[in-house]
Chain A
């Protein structure tokens, strides 16, 4: 099995092969049982990723269809008219009205396998997130990692070469942050309050109006201010 051919087969399976090459490959696909088998296995891979359940993955349907077609006459039709533009399925709903829903999935690695939940049931991929709050910590962590791991295509820069600063120390900084948040544009405000919400707890629970740095904050103790 040569690699160039297989690469074309993979692209053709995804509808991403130029028309001219499709013609040639379709012919070979039709005639070569090995290529056809590989093509079928590509479909299996997709099906498993989508966690399609309860289906005959052993090619039972295909086999039966093929057998059934053996008694059908071969078709003979004139050349097909070229297809029009790719159909864009455009999801549009009026916003005012019975309630709009927008569901989202992480575009990054959403790889959910069956996980045994604490109550013993199997986690089917749908509805998993809605139950996040009820998950025990380890399962929830695995889910979180699945939903939003480090963006893999972008590099996270190293920590600033300036003095290392620790995250939110005391209530005092939170004061400033919440006072500022009203003036951030909504996207930033979301980031800001989310970060504040998940920040590491500070050292003291009283308002730190003192000037001692909370532990972890390396103050830059310059004696002569500018």
Chain B
């Protein structure tokens, strides 16, 4: 089973004319992309612009995507190039971030990421969402919480999580699903209560 089967099945649909499938890819990766771009530009609105531009570039370049690399890797490079170009074109000197190594000061933080530049005040657009999700995770049973955190924070595969939690892979899949369900129950209220933009798609 290719680890990328999920993204590829969506990519294939897009290549055959299904734009709705591209929505799913955007939904999945938009947060990561904006966060990535924020390493180049501090202004969140600008970062969103650049992310949007990157997604559109990716859509147009999709016919050339052959699946030699993972979709996200390919998308990631497009986003970096787009961000760098945007920065250059705005007359700033290009900034070199060693993103692959992530060790500007020779150390890793607890979560293995580059130490992010602090985001300016007033950037938190989603306190309600964050606190809803946080509260939901806090009240999860421990095995569910561990599973979802290992997956989302540490990026472990189901197999790796199964080894770490000493349980079968099927149990890992079930725990992660049930964790998401429990959180989503609360999160849905936030989305459907007012914003509901996600439902405007498709």
Residues of A bordering B, CB below 8 Å: 6-7, 10-19, 22-23, 25-27, 29-33, 36-50, 52-66, 68-70, 72, 74-77, 79-84, 86-87, 93, 99-113, 124-130, 147, 152-154
Contacts and interface: CB of A to CB of B under 8 A. Distances in A.
Contacts of A129: 109-110
Contacts of A99: 106
A10 B3 contact: no
Interface of B: 1-24, 26-35, 38, 44, 47-48, 51-52, 55-56, 59-60, 62-63, 65-70, 73, 101, 103, 106-113, 115-116, 118-120, 123-126, 129-130, 133-134, 137-138, 142-143, 145-146, 148-154, 156-158, 164-167, 173-174, 176-177, 180-181, 183-184, 187-188, 191, 195, 197-202
B110 A128 contact: yes
Given A56-B125, A59-B27, A87-B73, 10 more contacts: A26-B6, A30-B18, A39-B27, A57-B126, A59-B197, A66-B202, A72-B56, A99-B106, A101-B108, A124-B118
A82 B67 contact: yes
A125 B108 CA distance: 12
Given A14-B158, A23-B9, A105-B112, A48 B165 contact: no
Contacts of A26: 6, 9-10, 12-13, 21, 24
Contacts of B156: 107
Contact of A75 (B14, B124, B134): B14
5 contacts: A11-B177, A19-B2, A50-B153, A75-B14, A80-B66
Main secondary structure of the interface of B (DSSP, over half): helix
A75 B56 contact: no
A49 B137 contact: yes
A147 B109 CA distance: 13
B174 A7 contact: yes
B47 to A, nearest CB: 8
B196 to A, nearest CB: 8
A83 B2 contact: yes
B106 A43 contact: no
A115 B174 CA distance: 31
Contacts of B68: 81, 83-84
Contacts of B146: 108-109, 152-153
B24 to A, nearest CB: 5
Contacts of A60: 48, 197
